[in-house]
Chain A
Amino acid sequence: MSRFRTYIPAYLFLLPSCLLFFCFMFLPIFKGVQLSFQKWTVAGYEWVGLANYQKIFADASFWKSLYITGVYALATVALGLFISLLVAFLIDPLSSKVQGFFKAAFYLPSVAPIVIVSILWGWLYNPSFGLFNYILDKFHFEPVLWLGDPNIALISIMIMTLAVGQGPNILILAASLGGVPKDYQEAARIDGANLIQEIVYIKIPMLKPTLTYLVVVNTVGSFQVFAPIYLMTSGGPNGSTKTIGFLIYENAFKKFDFGVASAQAVILLILVMIIAVIQFRSMSSDLEY
């Protein structure tokens, strides 16, 4: 008993934050699972077993959303990290003052609120007075319905994500690259390695732990994408940008079908966890910690 008394201060320090974590993060996850087996009727909640899940899996629009989300995640994560790596490699040899300027320039769009970024890109993409169509017109191309054409809208949102969402990736990769010991480079150069070999055989392997982390974090984030979709296209045109995150929102707050929305959220959570574990395992298999 007296031993327990020595732990009391530690628990008291933890209590306020853990209480909040529990109430507003854990409890909702459990409640979400519970809601996914229920249906809300006038009489209150009633248990419906797996009915919500059956409904979802039988629904073509859910599979379409899953496909759209997968495409969005794959493209934005792969291309985004490619762009970020390229920028990090280009920044690396520059002096720290110049580096600082570029880091700020690339990070600013990421720290700007998504609402404002969407407003600005809404202008760039505007079919009648947007900058992109003006430039196309200058070069005598046909105007493009960036956000209005079902075949292009998702690509437009991806382009926006790739342009403005890379700040953290660039900062993290640049910091990792700065941490690669210089004698490795020296040794490679003495052995007659060229720049490409140096990058492929020395720097990329050294960056592997960081890249693994970034692939997982970026994938988890992009699977849950919501705000850009809501703000730019509201899932349209023709459902072509309806990601799972938006589908959940629509089912819950437009159709008030909380049961189905919760079941979709549970599916999304499980999916994200599985993907994260697979990526982590497959990429860090040859790491030594």
Chain B
Amino acid sequence: MRKFNLPTIASVLLLTIWALLLLFPFYWMFLNAFKPTTSVIQTPPDLSWVNLTIGNFKKLTLEPISWAWTFNSFLVAISGMIGNVILCSMAGYAFAKKKFPGKRLIFWFIISIMMTSTQVIMVPLFILIRDMGLLNTYFGLILPILVSPFAVFLTKQFMQTIPGELISSAKMDGCSEWRIFYSIILPISKPVLAIVAIFGFITQWNDFLWPLLATESRDMRTLQVGLASMQLQNVDYGLVLAGSVWTMIPVIVLFVSFQRFFVRGITIGAVKG
């Protein structure tokens, strides 16, 4: 049992104020998404719980384009998630448990990609996808995001801890390579696969730059690109907030349900021990 002393109270107070400041805009967003646009642009900010309306959401859900964007966002995020989980865990397994020439070299190549981001390769990547004739197609949106170095790194770290005897005894029993991976390695690796899946989904759900470049027509956009275009055109503020809440829902749901995975995923690669 801790004593409540003055420094503890002071630091909790300070942290609380900082946290409230950070979270306040989100609170305002959720509240004002249910208010007419006149409330959104009034000063002082309207924080009352009166004349709430679902008008903005009605408008949003009656627009067919909202559903197209939502579908596209889910497609991109789920593809990223599945690609990361399956393809990167296969690579992670090879790095963790197999011996082969060029292992270190290939691994360092993949890790070094972590330094670069879409910002650096956006021009050649765009030209590459354009020359493949994949601009403004689902393939163009999805192909570059199916794998991530981060996912390979995480799965390798975890799978190194799986005892080698498990694999060698399964080999004795005549298990095929794929079967060992599928029925032994993957089930044991569930904790790390959950982290990879959640991060894969959220990263792609939130991604803005690649969908911005890879899509041309309005109906191919993702929610992020659609929202940004709405905001830059300065359309109906209430509608923009409703769209923001709509886009935040999966993020909030995943965040609340899997909070400890977030903490583990963020700290696993950075903190030794």
Measured between beta carbons, the chain A residues less than 8 angstroms from B23 are 105, 108-109
Are the C-beta atoms of A111 and B94 separated by less than 8 Å?
Answer: no
- The dominant DSSP class at the A interface is helix
| A87 interfacial contact with B, CB 8 Å | yes
A168 to B248, CA, bound (A): 19
B residues engaging A (CB < 8 A)? 2, 7-8, 11-12, 14-15, 18-19, 21-23, 25-26, 28-29, 40-45, 83, 87-88, 90-91, 93-95, 98-101, 103, 106, 109-110, 113, 115-117, 119-128, 143-144, 146-147, 149, 152, 177, 181, 202, 205-206, 208-209, 213, 224, 227-228, 231-232, 240-241, 244, 247-248, 251, 255, 259, 262-263, 266-267, 270-273
A231 to B208, CA, bound (A): 10
Interface stretch of the complex, out of A60-68, A70-78, A149-157, A247-255: A247-255
Are the C-beta atoms of B100 and A134 separated by less than 8 Å?
Answer: no
A residues engaging B (CB < 8 A)? 7, 9-14, 16-18, 20-21, 23-29, 31-32, 35, 87, 90-91, 93-95, 98, 100, 102-109, 111-116, 118-124, 128-129, 131, 134, 137, 163-164, 167-168, 171-172, 175-176, 179, 195, 209-210, 213-214, 217, 220-221, 224-227, 230-231, 245, 248-249, 252-253, 258, 261-262, 265, 268-269, 272-273, 276
Measured between beta carbons, the chain A residues less than 8 angstroms from B228 are 115, 118, 230-231
Measured between beta carbons, the chain B residues less than 8 angstroms from A100 are 259
Question: Min CB distance, A197 to chain B, in Å?
Answer: 15
Q: A10-B99, A111-B262, A120-B25 are in contact. Are A258 and B127 (CB under 8 A)?
A: yes
Are the C-beta atoms of B113 and A25 separated by less than 8 Å?
Answer: yes
Measured between beta carbons, the chain B residues less than 8 angstroms from A179 are 271, 273
Measured between beta carbons, the chain A residues less than 8 angstroms from B11 are 90, 93-94
Question: Min CB distance, A215 to chain B, in Å?
Answer: 12
Measured between beta carbons, the chain A residues less than 8 angstroms from B205 are 113
Question: Min CB distance, A250 to chain B, in Å?
Answer: 11
A109 to B206, CA, bound (A): 12
- The dominant DSSP class at the B interface is helix
Question: Min CB distance, A172 to chain B, in Å?
Answer: 5
Known: A106-B19, A272-B120. 17 other contacts (CB 8 A): A7-B101, A17-B87, A17-B152, A20-B87, A20-B144, A31-B127, A91-B15, A102-B15, A108-B22, A115-B228, A116-B248, A131-B45, A248-B122, A265-B119, A265-B122, A265-B123, A268-B120
Are the C-beta atoms of B125 and A24 separated by less than 8 Å?
Answer: yes
A92 to B158, CA, bound (A): 27
Are the C-beta atoms of B267 and A116 separated by less than 8 Å?
Answer: no
Q: A10-B99, A27-B128, A90-B15 are in contact. Are A32 and B123 (CB under 8 A)?
A: yes
A83 to B240, CA, bound (A): 31
Are the C-beta atoms of A164 and B22 separated by less than 8 Å?
Answer: yes
Cβ contacts A to B, 23 pairs, < 8 Å: A7-B101, A14-B91, A20-B87, A24-B128, A25-B116, A32-B120, A32-B123, A35-B123, A107-B263, A108-B22, A112-B248, A113-B247, A115-B227, A131-B43, A137-B43, A167-B266, A175-B271, A258-B123, A258-B127, A265-B122, A265-B123, A268-B119, A269-B120
Are the C-beta atoms of B94 and A10 separated by less than 8 Å?
Answer: yes
- Select from chain A the residue with minimum beta-carbon distance to B206: A113
Interface centre among B28, B43, B128, B247 (most CB of A within 10 A): B43
Are the C-beta atoms of B100 and A7 separated by less than 8 Å?
Answer: yes
Measured between beta carbons, the chain A residues less than 8 angstroms from B42 are 129
Measured between beta carbons, the chain A residues less than 8 angstroms from B209 are 226-227
Measured between beta carbons, the chain A residues less than 8 angstroms from B41 are 128-129
Question: Min CB distance, B10 to chain A, in Å?
Answer: 9
Please pick, from A32, A90, A95, A258, the residue contacting B121 in the complex, using a CB distance under 8 A.
A32
- Select from chain A the residue with minimum beta-carbon distance to B144: A24
Q: A29-B121, A31-B128, A32-B121 are in contact. Are A134 and B43 (CB under 8 A)?
A: yes
Question: Min CB distance, B192 to chain A, in Å?
Answer: 16
Measured between beta carbons, the chain A residues less than 8 angstroms from B208 are 113-115, 227, 231
Are the C-beta atoms of A13 and B116 separated by less than 8 Å?
Answer: no
Measured between beta carbons, the chain B residues less than 8 angstroms from A94 are 8, 11-12
Question: Min CB distance, A130 to chain B, in Å?
Answer: 8
- Select from chain A the residue with minimum beta-carbon distance to B213: A253
Question: Min CB distance, B111 to chain A, in Å?
Answer: 11
Are the C-beta atoms of A252 and B272 separated by less than 8 Å?
Answer: no
Measured between beta carbons, the chain A residues less than 8 angstroms from B244 are 116, 119-120
Measured between beta carbons, the chain A residues less than 8 angstroms from B40 are 123
Interface centre among B14, B122, B206, B273 (most CB of A within 10 A): B122
Are the C-beta atoms of B101 and A213 separated by less than 8 Å?
Answer: no
Please pick, from B127, B152, B227, B271, the residue contacting A176 in the complex, using a CB distance under 8 A.
B271
Interface centre among A16, A23, A176 (most CB of B within 10 A): A16
Are the C-beta atoms of B202 and A124 separated by less than 8 Å?
Answer: no
Measured between beta carbons, the chain A residues less than 8 angstroms from B206 are 111-115
Q: A10-B100, A32-B123 are in contact. Are A172 and B271 (CB under 8 A)?
A: yes
Measured between beta carbons, the chain A residues less than 8 angstroms from B22 are 105-106, 108-109, 163-164
